[in-house]
Chain A
Amino acid sequence: MTPRLPHRVIVAALSIALVAMPALAHKLREKGVAVTVADSSLTVTPTRDWNRLGQSPGKHAETWTLDGEQLDDVTFYAGIAPGEPLVKERSKKRDPLPKFTATTQIVEIPELLEGTYRTYKSIGAFTLVSTDPVKFLGHDGVLFTYDYTDEDLLTRRGEARATIVDGKLYMITFDAPRLYYFDRFLGDARALSGSATL
């Protein structure tokens, strides 16, 4: 997940001519080359070339994209420990995010993502569509799908796989506009998820 910059903000940014710093450069993730993600031992092998965004949503998270996170967004969450939120909080005190806990059940993981998105993006339109058991990273896990409407008024669909290993949360999400982009790249996103090993 990355925050969606409203359209007019991007437009305003162009007119004020500010540029992203070089340290935030995006990296290529090549087809067929196994790599670790999110500063962890979680390893994926892309089946096509992907781009890794220069800026990470959090300490244990990393976002890949093909066309830009506003159009297709695969985010890896790896080794979220009890007491930690999924992404970096804007302010721990004023705007806290829901936390993963030592007693979080697998069936509660979709609610954790929902609470994180609703709180972070300040949105009211989020629907959990389906929740099913699945094997992920060799463990019992959950496969769930959802719809939400962000600040740019574009409705997006999401599919996620998650599990808990040694008391830590691992999850891979794929978010894209429900118009065209979600269906178009779901296969590629699933291939990434399917290649994941710990």
Chain B
Amino acid sequence: MTAMKTTAIRWAVIVGTIAAAITPIAARATDPVLPPPYAGVYQPQGVDEIGLWHDDDDDEHALAASPLVIRDEKLTAYVKRVLCDTVGDDRCAPIRIYIIREPAFNASMSPNGTMRVLSGLFLRVRNDSEFGAVLGHEFGHFESRHTLAAFKGRRSGTDLLAWTALLASVAPSYGMARSYDDLRYSVYGSIFRHGRDQEREADRLGIAYLNHSHFRPQSASVMWHTVMAEAEASARAKGLKKPNFKTIAFTASHPPEAERAHYLAALAAPDDAGRADGADRYRAALAPWMPVFLDDQIKLNDFGGSDYLIENLAETGWTAPLWLARGDLYRTRGAQRDYANAATFYANAIDLDPTLAPAFRGLGLTLVKTGRTTEGQDALRRYLALSPTAPGAKLVRMMVPQGTNP
């Protein structure tokens, strides 16, 4: 009896939200959205939903034992804290967080309350507010049972195209490891592509959570701008006309950028603009992992996107790891004009942290490659002094006459 009544309230809220979504944005600009009333721990209903949860539980069982999960209690606890600060302790309590070592920008929630955060996401946000915006958005999908609705929606209609896509993905040709659409992420569980209306709805819920939290709701709009700009920078560097937003899991099927930035900004409660955005806390929590995630990103060979991300992260202040990453990015692209920049970036890293061994290594290699052999060897010697037993130290020693003895 209680469950039915709860569902009725829930549906009323959802219908109301969708109806509100159809009204012109201007009329609602002064009207910050409230999150739906919290209704207790949800149990799946109906054959489809129970089936999805069941599959999910199996998927979660596999996920918990996956070699790709980052098992760092502190980092996981931090992610949970930001989620709870965003949506409220009562809502976030039953959620399980899994951080996956995958250098792509995405996060998702499964119908059974599993939240997956891909490690690439940490490079696209710069403070707790932006991070909370993404998590809140995903939580919005979860709270509105979008996955279930999307699943039902996809099942109907002519599926010939879907079938040919499946065929294309199993054709025995080399180099088809990329599966079609979001099948690629299905190894991590069901990450569905939502429709535009659902994205809008999740945005609204996300903003509602932010408005009611202690975070700065204006960060949501900023975050989306970053994502779009990264895609454009990536496309530009590749000489492509425009970015293919379909290949970015988080942006495919999202509303157009201008519309989105507009309504996100409009819905953010104006009084909250003065709140702190939590940049310091974010940086502190991510400090042990940031160099690793930066490295994962650099090694994807996406020059434009990676350069944009580094500069974006540096807006709140350059750090030695950021300069190091930039140096590696330019050195590994390896066009002649890149080496001069790389040398500067490594030098900047060393200025901020004279014990950062990889920066000396990078600088030394770069100088040697541009014919500045003596200076290069000096830098390599300093690298060997700092890291005599690092992998590759023996090889570096061979590049340096009378090198430092271990």
Binding site for B on A (CB under 8 A): 2-6, 9, 12-13, 16, 18-20, 55, 57, 88, 90, 93-94, 96-99, 101, 103-108, 110-111, 114-115, 118-126, 128-133, 140, 142, 144, 149, 151, 153, 155
Contact = CB atoms under 8 A, between A and B. Distances in A.
Contacts of B238: 93-94, 96
Interface in B215-265: 238-240, 244
Nearest to A21: B172
6 contacts: A9-B179, A16-B170, A18-B172, A90-B178, A126-B299, A144-B391
Contact of B179 (A6, A93, A107, A126): A6
Which DSSP category, helix, strand, loop or mixed, fits chain B's interface?
A: loop
Given A20-B172, A124-B102, A131-B395, A93 B334 contact: no
Nearest to A132: B394
B296 to A, nearest CB: 5
B240 A94 contact: yes
Nearest to A114: B299
Nearest to A53: B174
A125 B68 contact: yes
A93 B240 contact: yes
Contact of A90 (B175, B179, B240): B175
Nearest to B101: A124
A99 B68 contact: no
Contact of B399 (A105, A121, A144): A105
B396 interface: yes
A12 B179 CA distance: 13
Contacts of A20: 172
Interface centre among B244, B334, B398 (most CB of A within 10 A): B334
A101 B334 contact: yes
B161 interface: no
Nearest to B298: A115
B177 interface: yes
Nearest to A6: B187
Contacts of B177: 3-5, 120-121, 151
Contacts of B172: 13, 18-20
Nearest to B66: A153
A3 B176 contact: yes
B103 interface: yes
Question: Closest 10 CB pairs between A and B?
Answer: A3-B177, A131-B392, A103-B369, A124-B101, A13-B170, A119-B301, A107-B395, A118-B299, A101-B334, A131-B391
B299 A107 contact: no
A133 B400 CA distance: 14
Contacts of A149: 67-68
B169 interface: yes
B314 interface: no
Contacts of B349: none
A124 B398 contact: no
Contacts, number: 120
B99 to A, nearest CB: 11
B18 interface: no
Nearest to B370: A103
Given A99-B334, A118-B296, A131-B392, A153 B187 contact: yes
Interface in B315-346: 332, 334
A155 B296 CA distance: 17
B130 to A, nearest CB: 21
B365 interface: yes
Contacts of B239: 93
Given A3-B176, A18-B170, A133 B395 contact: yes
A115 B332 contact: yes
Contact of A115 (B103, B179, B299, B365): B299
B119 interface: yes
Given A2-B174, A6-B179, A96-B238, A123 B102 contact: yes
A3 B175 contact: yes
A2 B175 CA distance: 8
A142 B395 CA distance: 8
Nearest to B300: A119
A130 B393 CA distance: 10
Contact of A12 (B103, B170, B184): B170
A153 B67 contact: yes
Contacts of A118: 103, 296, 299-300
Nearest to A99: B334
B79 interface: no
Contacts of B160: none
Interface string B94-112: 0000001111100000000
B166 interface: yes
B26 interface: no
Contacts of A111: 299, 332
Contacts of B102: 122-124
B14 interface: no
Interface string B364-393: 010011100000000000000000000110
Contacts of B178: 90, 122
Contacts of B244: 94
Nearest to A127: B391
Interface centre among A57, A110, A122 (most CB of B within 10 A): A122
A155 B177 CA distance: 17
